[in-house]
């Protein structure tokens, strides 16, 4: 009888965990349910179906009832999204919550691929002042998951001389997926003295470092050059050609010897990326008040145009006429660093809000923040929700109200809608949950509750022993917080 009871208890616990109302499940609720079954006597216990260890729920996590926007798969409709083993397992009109370990109701929210921000600065921690290989950069995790970003590409903070220091110091220790454009300058963005040193811009060692880390170094960056020469761009393109990766250009000081039109019509290859497209600093807006015709030609050749908002690269008086001319971005990115995090840029969603305010449809804004940038850096496995893809997901709320959005000079545009991030999933596990929509209400839990999430879907408060690959005893323990 004792053995029967134990079997029944474990079966019932399991069926409750996998049952149709996982969102409302709590340990207290499970125990109460067990008690009521036990009070019915042995006959009731024998009715409990026997579930063996093999019958794990098909899905770890089910996001139910949200509006999916997936540009790659041309989906903009209400869909259920199921995740298993860190991958997207199913995207269907209706999926059965009984098949999922955890279901989160996201009705009324937008479900998008995890956002991909291809212009950030993250090589911090060296202690170097006034340097993007130091104090000007930011550790990514505090600026990414809370706005739905799961992947960033550092835009050239490190060159071949210090890339591996960046990797061990930041990339390998962050939860955010950090990819990198390697700077054509061997010393990276350590300041003007380094960034204007033509002798430290060598294609071969740059390409060699990129080839040593394929899929991690996804491009070559040239930036901040103040001289009249084309050499930085030419050597970046040379390195990009050797390593078969795109080049991203911050065109530095505006010099008549190297006009923007020549850059995008002659010097860059199709697939190379011009960032800071709405800065107005290098003739993006022609004197006639329209888009520089060279940029239109460059786009026809296949050159990519990226926002790269930053602290000094986005003006309403440039963006509005260019958008009116139909010169929309291929990708939306932040240029996150200490000079942009609290000024007009703020964060990825705030930059996306600016394009909503400029009249761009939400589906397009999402495409330019997911599938487009992923393609630009040749990361075809990211930025979409195909079955089998990496399960990076952002759950966004579109708020209506009165909002304001400021540019690099502090000029405001009023707007009526704003994106907020409710939930972020990376590699199949919840890594951010603004309002606790994936969590039980605390009074439903036992008085001494510990972490109760399951590590198969929960990256925040998994109970000990529930994370795949994690060894140890199961069950909720107060000291199991990770
Ligand atoms: Zn930048």
CA–CA dist 350, 344 (Å, integer)? 9
Q: What is the CA radius of gyration of the chain?
A: 25
* pLDDT 10s digits, 381-436: 999 999 999 999 999 999 999 999 999 999 999 999 999 999 999 999 999 999 99
Q: How far is the CA of 175 from the centre of ligand 1 (A)?
A: 21
SS3 per residue for 367-430: HCCCHHHHHHCCCCCCCCCCCCCECCEEEEEEEEEEEEEECCCCCEEEEEEEEEEEEEEECCEE
Which of the given ranges, 25-29, 108-112, 450-454, has the highest pLDDT on average?
108-112
Q: Regarding predicted confidence, which is higher, 10 or 293?
A: 293
Residues in the 5 Å CB sphere of ion ligand 1: 155, 335
**In the predicted model, what is the mean pLDDT of residues 354-360?**
98
Q: Which residues contact 355 (CB under 8 A, 6 or more apart)?
A: 329, 332, 364, 365, 368
Over residues 430-456, the mean pLDDT reads 96
- Give the pTM: 0.87
241 C-alpha to ligand 1 centroid (Å): 22
Whole-number Å distance, alpha carbon 280 to ligand 1 midpoint, is 15
Distance from Cα 475 to the centre of ligand 1, integer Å: 46
CA of 129 to the centre of ligand 1 (A): 17
Tokens, residue 257:
């010897």
122: phi then psi, degrees, rounded to nearest 5: -125, 5
Task: Please tell me the distance between residue 300's alpha carbon and the centre of ligand 1 in angstroms.
Answer: 25
pLDDT in the model for residue 312: 97
Expressed in angstroms and rounded, the spacing between residue 195 Cα and the centre of ligand 1 is 13
CA 399 to ligand 1 centroid distance, Å: 29
Q: How many A from CA of 383 to the centre of ligand 1?
A: 21
Q: Check whether 39 has a pLDDT greater than 50.
A: no
Distance 121 CA to ligand 1 centre (A): 6
Cα(119) to centroid(ligand 1), Å: 6
Centroid of ligand 1 to alpha carbon of 434 (angstroms):
28
Residues linked to residue 419 through DSSP beta bridges, in sequence order: 398
CA of 117 to the centre of ligand 1 (A): 12
Handedness of CA 142, 399, 430, 119 (dihedral sign): negative
User: For 49, which DSSP code?
Assistant: P
Instruction: Count CB neighbours of 132 within 10 A.
Output: 27
Residue 351 CA to ligand 1 center (angstroms) comes to: 15
For residues 63 and 288, give the distance between their C-alpha atoms in angstroms, rounded to a whole number: 49
Question: How many angstroms separate the alpha carbon of residue 67 from the centre of ligand 1?
Answer: 33
Q: Percentage of the chain with pLDDT > 90? A: 84
- Extract the tokens encoding 348: 């990825």
Residue 343 CA to residue 337 CA, distance in Å, equals 10
Q: Is the pLDDT of residue 356 over 90?
A: yes
Both tokens assigned to 33: 């349910």
Give distance in angstroms: CA of 40 to centre of ligand 1.
67
Q: Say if residue 20's pLDDT is above 70.
A: no
Ligand 1 centroid from CA 156, angstroms: 8
In the reported structure, the alpha carbon of residue 155 is separated from the centroid of ligand 1 by a whole-number distance in angstroms of 6
Is the pLDDT assigned to residue 235 strictly greater than 80?
yes
Query: Residue 467's pLDDT is what?
Result: 85
Q: Which two tokens stand for residue 59?
A: 């899905």
Query: In angstroms, rounded to a whole number, what is the distance separating the alpha carbons of residues 159 and 166?
Result: 9
Closest CA to 378 of 116, 159, 65: 116
- In the chain the first and final C-alpha atoms are separated, in Å, by 38
Find, among 241, 276, 279, 251, the residue nearest to 119 by Cα: 276
Q: How many angstroms does the Cα of residue 401 sit away from the middle of ligand 1?
A: 31
In the reported structure, the alpha carbon of residue 395 is separated from the centroid of ligand 1 by a whole-number distance in angstroms of 27
Residue 313 Cα to ligand 1 middle (Å): 9
Quote the ligand 1 centre to 141 CA distance (angstroms). 18
Find the 297 Cα to ligand 1 centroid distance in Å: 24
Looking at per-residue confidence, does 20 or 94 come out higher? 94
pLDDT at 470: 62
Q: How far is the CA of 54 from the centre of ligand 1 (A)?
A: 50
Q: Does residue 60 carry a pLDDT above 50?
A: yes
At 54, the pLDDT band (50, 70, 90 cuts) reads low
pLDDT tens digits, one per residue of 123-171 = 999 999 999 999 999 999 999 999 999 999 999 999 999 999 999 999 9
C-alpha 282 to ligand 1 mean position (Å): 15
- ∠ CA 49-469-440, nearest 5°, is 60
Query: What spacing in Å lies between the alpha carbon of 418 and ligand 1's midpoint?
Result: 24
Please check the confidence at residue 480 and state whether its pLDDT lies above 70: no
Of the pLDDT bands very low, low, confident and very high (cuts 50, 70, 90), residue 265 is: very high
Q: State in Å: Cα 221 to ligand 1 middle.
A: 10
Q: How far is the CA of 360 from the centre of ligand 1 (A)?
A: 24
Which of 33-37, 80-84, 205-209, 213-217 has the lowest average pLDDT?
Answer: 33-37
Residue 133 CA, ligand 1 centroid: distance in Å:
12
Considering only 28-32, 101-105, 242-246, 360-364, which range has the smallest mean pLDDT?
A: 28-32
Let me know: does 321 contact 285? Beta carbons within 8 Å.
yes
Query: What is the distance in A from the centroid of ligand 1 to the CA of 335?
Result: 5
At 275, phi and psi to the nearest 5?
-100, 165
The per-residue pLDDT of the chain, averaged, comes to: 89
Residue 476 has pLDDT above 60, yes or no: no
Report whether pLDDT(23) > 60: no
Q: Contact 430/458 with Cβ under 8 angstroms?
A: yes
């Amino acid at each position: 009888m004792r053995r029967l009871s134990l079997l029944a208890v474990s079966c019932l616990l399991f069926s409750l965990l996998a049952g149709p109302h996982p969102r409302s499940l709590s340990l207290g609720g499970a125990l109460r349910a067990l008690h009521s079954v036990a009070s019915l006597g042995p006959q009731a216990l024998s009715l409990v179906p026997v579930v063996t260890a093999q019958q794990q729920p098909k899905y770890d996590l089910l996001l139910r009832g949200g509006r999916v926007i997936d540009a790659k798969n041309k989906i903009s409709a209400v869909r259920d999204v199921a995740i298993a083993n860190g991958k997207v397992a199913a995207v269907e009109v209706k999926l059965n919550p009984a098949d999922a370990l955890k279901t989160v109701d996201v009705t009324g929210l937008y479900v998008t691929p995890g956002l991909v921000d291809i212009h950030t600065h993250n090589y911090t921690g060296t202690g170097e002042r006034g340097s993007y290989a130091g104090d000007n950069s930011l550790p990514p995790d505090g600026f990414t998951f809370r706005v739905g970003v799961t992947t960033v590409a550092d835009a050239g903070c490190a060159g071949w001389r210090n890339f591996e220091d960046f990797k061990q110091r930041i990339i390998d220790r962050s939860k955010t997926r950090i990819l990198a454009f390697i700077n054509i300058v061997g010393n990276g963005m350590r300041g003007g003295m380094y960034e204007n040193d033509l002798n430290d811009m060598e294609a071969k060692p740059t390409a060699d470092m990129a080839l040593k880390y394929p899929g991690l170094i996804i491009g070559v960056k040239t930036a901040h050059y103040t001289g009249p020469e084309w050499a930085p761009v030419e050597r970046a393109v040379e390195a990009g050609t050797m390593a078969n990766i795109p080049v991203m250009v911050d065109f530095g000081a505006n010099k008549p010897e190297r006009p923007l039109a020549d850059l995008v019509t002659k010097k860059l290859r199709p697939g190379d990326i011009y960032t800071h497209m709405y800065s107005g600093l290098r003739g993006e807006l022609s004197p006639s008040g329209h888009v520089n015709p060279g940029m239109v030609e460059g786009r026809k050749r296949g050159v990519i145009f990226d926002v790269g908002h930053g602290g000094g690269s986005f003006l309403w008086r440039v963006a509005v006429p260019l958008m009116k001319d139909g010169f929309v971005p291929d990708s939306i990115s932040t240029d996150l660093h200490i000079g942009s995090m609290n000024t007009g840029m703020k964060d990825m969603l705030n930059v996306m809000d600016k394009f909503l305010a400029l009249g761009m449809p939400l589906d397009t804004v999402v495409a330019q923040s997911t599938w487009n940038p992923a393609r630009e850096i040749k990361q075809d496995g990211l930025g979409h929700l195909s079955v089998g893809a990496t399960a990076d997901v952002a759950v966004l709320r579109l708020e209506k109200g009165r909002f304001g959005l400021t540019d690099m000079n502090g000029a405001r545009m009023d707007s009526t809608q704003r994106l907020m991030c409710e939930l972020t999933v990376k590699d199949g596990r919840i890594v951010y949950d603004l309002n606790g929509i994936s969590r039980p209400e605390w009074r439903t839990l036992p008085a001494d509750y510990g972490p109760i999430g399951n590590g198969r879907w929960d990256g925040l408060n998994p109970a000990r022993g529930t994370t795949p690959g994690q060894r140890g005893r199961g069950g909720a323990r107060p000291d199991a917080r990770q």
